[in-house]
Amino acid sequence: MTAKPVQRIHVIGIGAGSPDHVTAQAAAALAEVDVFLVADKGKTKDELVAVRRAICERFIPAGHPYEFVTVPDPQRGPDAERDGTDYAAAVTAWHAARTDAYVRVIEGLPEGAVVGFLVWGDPAFYDSTIRVVDAIAERLPTEVTVMPGISAFQTLAAAHGIVLHRVGEPVHITTGRRLVAQWRAAAEADLTLGTVVVMLDGHLACRELAATDPDTTIHWGAYVGMPQQALRHGRLADVIDDIVALRAELRERHGWIMDVYALTPASA
């Protein structure tokens, strides 16, 4: 049986938690969507779905009908226990399973339905949605459009009132998994990474740098842009224990946590 075509899929960056982050372009795209597909990651992430619903209620005209369809998110497994090769393979398999799940839902939608994916922050930074949607488009005839959003690290910089880079220096964006190796490789090669923005770090890998690079400045934030936003900054060796304890407390209190931080070396 031939799948019913979906005319458009909108990948919409909605910012880092505040409805005020939604751009005019994103708001216009929201108003065109008939069905929003949302990954169901369990009850601890219900708040993230609630924020997405609140954004839709704020920006979608009352006369435009739409619905949320939650799709069980495939299990990815213990990433922290995998090496680079196993990690990449696990992510590839996870993307494929997500694609299969979304295709099954989309095939059951009315012909011409406009599908929307609401992406926390910006779809271009450490998010799988664009890759998954591209895989969907290889199997179902559709047109994909992407709307940028305000990223977590932009919100972090604004919340702390800082410029991320020194004059003429770069900004390096990486993950907790790669932070320590990249930081030390740059030091050994006498290269300037500039300020390092770290995302997807569930274990605060920067703790390993506190002993060797104690004078590094850290700007850290959790739930940036949301009412429960928490911020800390200072000399890495001085504040890392406080950040570790606070992060654990916040995770216990809310059942989930999203945080991001920036590390600025003590000298150029």
Residue pLDDT, tens place only, 32-55: 999 999 988 766 567 778 889 999
What per-residue confidence (pLDDT) applies to 4? Answer: 57
What per-residue confidence (pLDDT) applies to 164? Answer: 95
- Delimiting residues of CATH 3.40.1010.10 domain(s) in the chain: 8-150
Tell me yes or no: is domain 8-150 CATH 3.40.1010.10: yes
Residue pLDDT, tens place only, 2-23: 555 557 999 999 999 889 999 9
- Delimiting residues of CATH 3.30.950.10 domain(s) in the chain: 153-264
What per-residue confidence (pLDDT) applies to 1? Answer: 44
Q: Is the pTM of this model over 0.75?
A: yes
* Rounded Cα–Cα distance for residues 146 and 130 (Å): 8
Which residues in the chain land under pLDDT 70?
Answer: 1-6, 42-45, 76-84, 268
What per-residue confidence (pLDDT) applies to 112? Answer: 87
Tokens of 102: 């979304």
C-alpha distances (whole Å) from 266 to each of 169, 191, 212 are: 14, 14, 12
Strands 114-119 and 143-147 turn out to be: unpaired
Tell me yes or no: is domain 153-264 CATH 3.30.950.10: yes
What per-residue confidence (pLDDT) applies to 51? Answer: 87
What per-residue confidence (pLDDT) applies to 42? Answer: 65
What per-residue confidence (pLDDT) applies to 87? Answer: 78
